[in-house]
A and B are shown apart, each in its own frame.
Chain A
């Protein structure tokens, strides 16, 4: 029986390339070549980070999906996209795109296996992991947006804090319970 993990491993280079192309294509056409070709990690932090972390995420998906382990990789990609003027769906949508990329890369094998449940079942499993990954990405996206608002509030506070303190019009705020938040990672 064909083993999906082996197949994905064998084709990982093509899959990653197409997955990367897919996310990079969400940037303006004139900039795509720059994001793809500029190899220097410091001259091209966006392209470089996305490339590096996508590979790490993919490797993780091959063997399972450990939320804690995969989160830092997804975080580095989503953190960038969360400030790049994308709608939430656009910021995290690249995760779901992996399903089509994989199906395309395995088109021949899937056709050959048509009828035999083995490979398809494995693919279904893999795709549910991708769905779960999308949810993780969305949690991270929300945490990033939340962070932006917190920082915004903090910036205003630190600007006026000393003026208020000097005017002696601050009163200590009693300890409050943390509001319910979605888990950060």
Chain B
């Protein structure tokens, strides 16, 4: 937080926070608590064979850069200009029309000009001009070029870890310039100097060596799910015995590990378990491919590939026919945009076919991976689920399109179709804040660390503002989504901006509405352990008549009593 105190006349003039009027190239970022993420731990970076692992602190002047850091950056840049045609094009074709300037949630929430996508890209483009282009080399600033200095590297670290790679800006660019891809490359280059944040570097290392971002070892992963089974038994009254690493299962199920242990993701996870049990699905969990998310995507091309590979490797080892995936954002951007060319073709798998409806998922012909939401939508369409959507009547829901599923995966109608079939009260946020134009949660691309909470709240402001609008207008009290990072990040965001609104995964609403054959008294509580009739009473609704206690003398009924 800034510390200088303005004098009264400065307050009157309102000049106290005015940035220096120099050219933007000359202003420097200040690393203040709450506004940046901590550097990666040495062991994590070393674990991935990363270069120049060391202790360093962004608030100190000396970042202990390697001796030849300039050469490394220039070579890194040159190499990527050669390998990635899109990067070269994005460096050359921006006409600085400004159409993207006010489209970034970080700019909207901060007013910091370097958070304008055009200037964010210019941070690296100016070096490209100044170091690689003749005009820029000779004319310098006049031709929009500048020289590579340590200050530039610090600025990159500050602003490229303040871009969530959400692609909102690209929707408005007449040339289709995708600043997210520029950020991706910039982070790769920073990585060459050992400049990584811990919230990305440590999960990546854990995922690579153990199987998931949290570093849950196989037995712990299994125990965590078993714990959720206990909660299901208590709160829903059904006993489930899923399998782990079972060879010959028809389907391998992979979901982000956040679902397995963090609130409110665990309720989404319980919902998958309930749905699959209801269907009698022949599926298995893997304790090795125990992570659907891929923080490697926020690191480098190669790291993303390494982490992604285990899904196919496990599907091969277990001999399954296809892969079903849980609710996640960037997991699906990776699957949709890169998996096939990175680690495919997955010839050991079959084109996914729903064993319940017989539907063949032609869209997943190549990757052999189906999203649980499209799987569910197909079940509903074919009348395979007995749904009573009035069971969600105490919720008034709005839908958050996650950047990755909407702009990165084109998943706009499927979730809405499912939502409309499981809730009666659904209100959209304003058009300019949903679908392709959706606002980011402010915590994507590995920026959902604890230490940069203020930065996240500023970045999430435009999203929260739209939620507040539907909360005030329609009484919205639930923000549904299909992304593990959203589930984790939107909750605190709502607690700060719109505390009356809660957050859930779409599958949770499906499980709430599902009428399970032989339901017992325990069903009167939801997955969160809340009495549904209490919630209904608060909302002014009639209570639901749940089955009588212990009809068949089952244990579940007894447990539900407490």
A86 pairs with B496, CB closer than 8 A: no
CB distance from A80 to the nearest CB of B (A): 7
- Can you name 15 A-B residue pairings with CB atoms under 8 Å? A26-B14, A41-B465, A42-B462, A42-B465, A45-B465, A46-B461, A83-B496, A86-B1, A87-B1, A87-B4, A89-B6, A93-B11, A147-B495, A155-B453, A162-B227
B454 pairs with A85, CB closer than 8 A: yes
Residue of B nearest to A151 (CB): B492
Q: Is A31 an interface residue (CB 8 A)?
A: yes
Apart from A22-B14, A162-B262, what 16 extra A-B contacts exist at CB < 8 Å? A24-B14, A28-B19, A28-B112, A43-B108, A45-B108, A45-B109, A45-B465, A46-B461, A83-B454, A85-B454, A90-B16, A97-B12, A162-B227, A162-B261, A162-B263, A166-B223
A154 pairs with B5, CB closer than 8 A: no
CB distance from B496 to the nearest CB of A (A): 6
Chain A residue numbers with a CB within 8 Å of B491 are 158
Q: Is B8 an interface residue (CB 8 A)?
A: yes
Q: Is A10 an interface residue (CB 8 A)?
A: no
CB distance from B468 to the nearest CB of A (A): 9
B113 pairs with A148, CB closer than 8 A: no
Q: Is A126 an interface residue (CB 8 A)?
A: no
Q: Which of B19, B101, B433 contacts A42 (CB 8 A)?
A: B433
In whole angstroms, how far apart are the Cα atoms of A46 and B262 in the complex? 32
In whole angstroms, how far apart are the Cα atoms of A145 and B78 in the complex? 45
In whole angstroms, how far apart are the Cα atoms of A169 and B261 in the complex? 16
Q: Is B143 an interface residue (CB 8 A)?
A: no
Residues of chain B from 42 to 101 with CB closer than 8 A to chain A in the complex = 101
Q: Is A44 an interface residue (CB 8 A)?
A: yes
Residues of A within 8 A of B (CB): 21-31, 34-35, 38, 40-46, 49, 79-80, 83-87, 89-90, 93-94, 96-97, 100-101, 144, 147-148, 151-152, 154-156, 158-159, 161-163, 165-166
* In the complex, per-residue mask of B33-49: 1 if CB is within 8 Å of any chain A CB, else 0: 01100000000000000
A93 pairs with B6, CB closer than 8 A: yes
Q: Which of B18, B457, B458, B495 contacts A154 (CB 8 A)?
A: B495
Contact A161:B112 (CB < 8 A) given known A97-B11, A148-B454: no
In whole angstroms, how far apart are the Cα atoms of A21 and B262 in the complex? 44
In whole angstroms, how far apart are the Cα atoms of A33 and B110 in the complex? 14
In whole angstroms, how far apart are the Cα atoms of A120 and B193 in the complex? 65
In whole angstroms, how far apart are the Cα atoms of A148 and B3 in the complex? 18
B111 pairs with A31, CB closer than 8 A: yes
Q: Which of A21, A28, A49, A85 contacts B113 (CB 8 A)?
A: A28
Chain B residue numbers with a CB within 8 Å of A165 are 227
Contact A29:B19 (CB < 8 A) given known A40-B432, A97-B12: yes
In whole angstroms, how far apart are the Cα atoms of A21 and B35 in the complex? 26
A158 pairs with B262, CB closer than 8 A: yes
Residues of chain B from 1 to 34 with CB closer than 8 A to chain A in the complex = 1-6, 8, 11-19, 21, 24, 32, 34
In whole angstroms, how far apart are the Cα atoms of A89 and B43 in the complex? 41
Q: Which of B17, B21, B262 contacts A86 (CB 8 A)?
A: B17
B453 pairs with A26, CB closer than 8 A: no
Contact A26:B465 (CB < 8 A) given known A31-B113, A43-B432: no
In whole angstroms, how far apart are the Cα atoms of A113 and B261 in the complex? 70
Residue of B nearest to A23 (CB): B14
Q: Is B102 an interface residue (CB 8 A)?
A: yes
B21 pairs with A29, CB closer than 8 A: yes
In whole angstroms, how far apart are the Cα atoms of A114 and B112 in the complex? 44
Contact A26:B262 (CB < 8 A) given known A46-B111, A87-B1, A151-B496: no
A42 pairs with B466, CB closer than 8 A: yes
Chain B residue numbers with a CB within 8 Å of A46 are 108-109, 111, 461
Interface secondary structure of A, over-half rule: helix
B11 pairs with A30, CB closer than 8 A: no
The count of A-to-B residue pairs whose CB atoms sit within 8 angstroms is 149
CB distance from A108 to the nearest CB of B (A): 19
Chain A residue numbers with a CB within 8 Å of B263 are 158, 161-162
Q: Is B497 an interface residue (CB 8 A)?
A: yes
In whole angstroms, how far apart are the Cα atoms of A144 and B34 in the complex? 14
Chain B residue numbers with a CB within 8 Å of A93 are 6, 11, 16
Chain B residue numbers with a CB within 8 Å of A24 are 14
A85 pairs with B35, CB closer than 8 A: yes
Q: Chain A CB within 10 Å — which of B16, B111, B112, B262 has the most?
A: B111
Q: Is B358 an interface residue (CB 8 A)?
A: no
Residues of chain B from 425 to 472 with CB closer than 8 A to chain A in the complex = 430, 432-433, 450, 453-454, 457-458, 461-462, 465-466, 469
* In the complex, per-residue mask of B394-408: 1 if CB is within 8 Å of any chain A CB, else 0: 000000000000000
B14 pairs with A156, CB closer than 8 A: no
In whole angstroms, how far apart are the Cα atoms of A145 and B454 in the complex? 10
B450 pairs with A96, CB closer than 8 A: no
In whole angstroms, how far apart are the Cα atoms of A152 and B15 in the complex? 32
In whole angstroms, how far apart are the Cα atoms of A86 and B19 in the complex? 13
Q: Is B127 an interface residue (CB 8 A)?
A: no
In whole angstroms, how far apart are the Cα atoms of A176 and B16 in the complex? 43
B496 pairs with A27, CB closer than 8 A: no
CB distance from B85 to the nearest CB of A (A): 32
Contact A49:B5 (CB < 8 A) given known A96-B11, A151-B492: no
Q: Is B485 an interface residue (CB 8 A)?
A: no
Q: Which of A80, A100, A148 contacts B12 (CB 8 A)?
A: A100
In whole angstroms, how far apart are the Cα atoms of A93 and B111 in the complex? 18
In whole angstroms, how far apart are the Cα atoms of A21 and B492 in the complex? 32
Chain A residue numbers with a CB within 8 Å of B466 are 42
Q: Which of A38, A49, A158, A162 contacts B465 (CB 8 A)?
A: A49
B2 pairs with A85, CB closer than 8 A: yes
Residues of chain B from 210 to 248 with CB closer than 8 A to chain A in the complex = 223-224, 227
Q: Which of A21, A42, A86 contacts B432 (CB 8 A)?
A: A42
Q: Is B266 an interface residue (CB 8 A)?
A: yes
In whole angstroms, how far apart are the Cα atoms of A38 and B102 in the complex? 9
In whole angstroms, how far apart are the Cα atoms of A44 and B13 in the complex? 23
B224 pairs with A166, CB closer than 8 A: yes
In whole angstroms, how far apart are the Cα atoms of A22 and B541 in the complex? 48
A31 pairs with B112, CB closer than 8 A: yes
In whole angstroms, how far apart are the Cα atoms of A25 and B11 in the complex? 10
Q: Which of B5, B266, B465 contacts A87 (CB 8 A)?
A: B5
Chain B residue numbers with a CB within 8 Å of A154 are 492, 495
A151 pairs with B495, CB closer than 8 A: yes
A89 pairs with B458, CB closer than 8 A: no
Contact A45:B113 (CB < 8 A) given known A26-B17, A162-B224, A162-B263: no
Residue of B nearest to A19 (CB): B14
Q: Which of A43, A79, A97, A147 contacts B102 (CB 8 A)?
A: A43
In whole angstroms, how far apart are the Cα atoms of A85 and B34 in the complex? 9
In whole angstroms, how far apart are the Cα atoms of A79 and B427 in the complex? 26
B2 pairs with A86, CB closer than 8 A: yes
Residue of A nearest to B216 (CB): A163
